[in-house]
Amino acid sequence: MTPLASPRRPPHTPRYLLRVLAFSLALSPTSAFAQDASEADGTPEASTEAPREDRDEERTAPEDEGAPDATKSLTEAPTHTADPTREKRRARGPLVVTGTRRAQRIEDSPVPVTVIDRDAIEASGARDVSEILAAQAGAELVPTVGGTGVRLQGMDSDYVLILVDGQRVAGRVNGVVDLDRFNARNIEQVEVLRGPGSALYGADAMAGVINIITRKSKEPYEAEATLGYGQRNQIEAGGRAGMNREGWRAHLEANHRQADGYDLSPQDIFSTGSAYNETQAGAGGALDLGEHWELGARGSYLLRRQERVDPGASRAVFDRLNAYEDGLASIYAQHEGQGRLRTTATFQVFRNQFFYDQRRSDALDRYEDSSESQAIVESVYERTLSDTNILTLGVEGALHRFDSERLEGGGGARDRLALFAQDEWFFGDAQQLVLMPGIRLDLDSQYGFHPSPALSARYQVFEDLNLLGSAAMAYRAPSFQELLLDFENPAVGYVIEGNPDLEPETSRSFQLGAQWRPLERLDVEINLFWNELDNLIGTTTTESAGAGQALVFSYKNIASARTRGLESMLRLRPGKGVRLELGYTLTDTLDRDQSRPLEGRAPHRLSFTFGADRLPLGLKANLRAQLTSARTYYFDGTTELAEPEIAPPSALVDAHLWRDFGDHFSVSLQGTNLLNQGDARFLPIAPRALFAALSARY
């Protein structure tokens, strides 16, 4: 196996990017806006991180003095009529960009967005995005063959769009973008948009959007390094260095992680979790060109190898080696005048290789090599048209290719052009009411034209009580595997064929929520959701199996479903340095074709986080837990069970204890899965483990 070998059919990268660039910019309605805009005072780039201060003081301070002057942004909500009390409240929350594609305070967002900022990431001890989301209300981690996915509002990872700095991520394996591949050390904050996001982001955002915001250099000179070791031979080593000088900034990062596999069923020789070895490196920077222009770029490369022992048919045993590579390059140009125009070009290649080595035989040995590449150019223009109106326009062009021997013809390709618009209106003397209609029009070479409209609203009932509501349509495009798969498993006796006539899966969604601050140190959030899913893609038998013939399956738009429920979160700061978060999620699902709940969904989930920063001996601690009710399963792999099986409730508890020695050193001890939950069938997670680390920073 050669993980670093070149793909069989590499895209012609320069021509690929030029085609997309011309495709997007030639039709961009924003070029004329940018050229005609008269010059205005420049505004520094809005940072997504609040100052590194005590979290209680930060939340209750009348002014966020260390943060960028976001209230003077060229694309801010009009505030000339807002009262001083509202301005005081507006400066409290962190900046978010996912819900509306423009930087705004979280309490001003008309859509429900959860933010996990850098302070919360460090306090949790999380080492990747899956651990960052582990105790978040409404987010359910799902271990799969393709990696760790996330379920939102009762919908699987296939329906959750993953972004990095607002750009779509390639590399879904069995519909899952593996959240373990995103190192927490490189992340500034994670934003979770609950509910459809197709009106802004296009396909695959039926359940929501997770936007991973990467770190940027903030200090004139900064550096940090971490070295850690834990049970299961967990080893982590990483470092980061950066500069932020007048007119430019840059950073470099490199990380290595590895761990042994684990087995939750010792009665056999098969693995439950894979051993892995991962190396990642990246760099980025930005350059100010005068008062109004900024150019930036980033690039990254990841290589992850995984090994495990798998069962096969007829008692065959396989050693499986999996290696995937993820390479990304992105550049952007931003102009700020009376409006803001940002154009971004991203090229990404994700290569995935499997090697199955049958023990004591080579009859069923198999090697698979697939490569996914995508090039996307996007232009987004924001402008305040009046004291009560902010307009956002965008155009996106994309080329997407997937190469695999398992696909008919060895692979496939498709082009996409999208136009989107969003108009934010403010009503009332203090802007109590915000209405935000939006629509995205996608034209895809595979499935044609698809519109995605949405309407969101926020109403300030009282100074500390906001109501939020939205109605939206969203969709998921058929994957290349569903369209073109041509796979035969002679050992088991079945064939799976793709269906090029598949149509997108669609949904209609309704959200209604409230944000309430009854006390200065208490916040309460509630969100009700109802999602109707249609045209869902499922497998069906296309040919009857005669004597000695394999059973043939294919994909069809055959199913419909419903998910509904409640997401709630309570945040309490009872004293300085003390934080308490309590979340509850109620999920009710229905498979309309089978007249039963969707498989594996827990009706009830309770999350809990407790943090204390002023313990004796200078210690700090963070405890988090997630309690999940029983879940119903109807299948064992691909075989339907005679009777449904019930997975027992689970309680996952993690703890993080650390001490800072001045401003430059810290020592930490982390315990994961402290109650040692998990089983090989229904909850294949890693057993209890301790991990210690030493960090230095400048």
pLDDT: is 552 or 537 the higher one?
A: 537
Gap between the Cα atoms of 510 and 525, Å rounded: 17
pLDDT digits (tens, 9 = 90+) for 671-691: 999 999 999 989 999 999 999
Residue 497 pLDDT grade (very low, low, confident, very high; cuts 50, 70, 90): confident
The confidence score (pLDDT) of residue 41 equals: 41
**Does position 89 have pLDDT exceeding 80, yes or no?**
no
pLDDT: is 281 or 540 the higher one?
A: 281
pLDDT: is 550 or 612 the higher one?
A: 612
Q: What percent of the chain has pLDDT over 90?
A: 65
Residue 424 pLDDT grade (very low, low, confident, very high; cuts 50, 70, 90): very high
pLDDT digits (tens, 9 = 90+) for 282-302: 999 999 998 899 999 999 999
Domain boundaries, the chain: 13-215+300-598
**Does position 561 have pLDDT exceeding 80, yes or no?**
yes
| Residue 68 near residue 43 (C-beta atoms within 8 A) | no
The confidence score (pLDDT) of residue 281 equals: 98
For residues 359-382, average pLDDT: 93
Which residues in 359-432 belong to E strands, given as ranges? 366-386, 389-404, 411-427
Residue 98 pLDDT grade (very low, low, confident, very high; cuts 50, 70, 90): confident
pLDDT digits (tens, 9 = 90+) for 393-410: 999 999 999 999 888 888
The confidence score (pLDDT) of residue 637 equals: 63
Number of Cβ within 10 Å of residue 575's Cβ equals: 11
The confidence score (pLDDT) of residue 23 equals: 47
For residues 456-479, average pLDDT: 94
| Residue 418 near residue 448 (C-beta atoms within 8 A) | no
Which residues in 463-493 belong to E strands, given as ranges? 465-476, 486-489
Q: State the chain's mean pLDDT as an integer.
A: 85
Gap between the Cα atoms of 156 and 591, Å rounded: 13
pLDDT: is 694 or 39 the higher one?
A: 694
Gap between the Cα atoms of 218 and 47, Å rounded: 9
pLDDT digits (tens, 9 = 90+) for 172-204: 988 899 999 999 999 999 999 999 988 899 889
pLDDT: is 593 or 257 the higher one?
A: 257
Q: Which of 2-11, 19-28, 85-94, 558-567 has the lowest mean pLDDT?
A: 2-11
The confidence score (pLDDT) of residue 446 equals: 86
Contacts of residue 526, Cβ cutoff 8 Å, sequence gap at least 6: 513, 514, 566, 567, 568
For residues 81-103, average pLDDT: 62
CATH of segment(s) 13-215+300-598: 2.40.170
Collapsing DSSP states into helix, strand and coil, what is residue 342?
strand
pLDDT digits (tens, 9 = 90+) for 197-245: 888 998 899 999 999 999 999 999 999 999 999 999 999 999 999 999 9
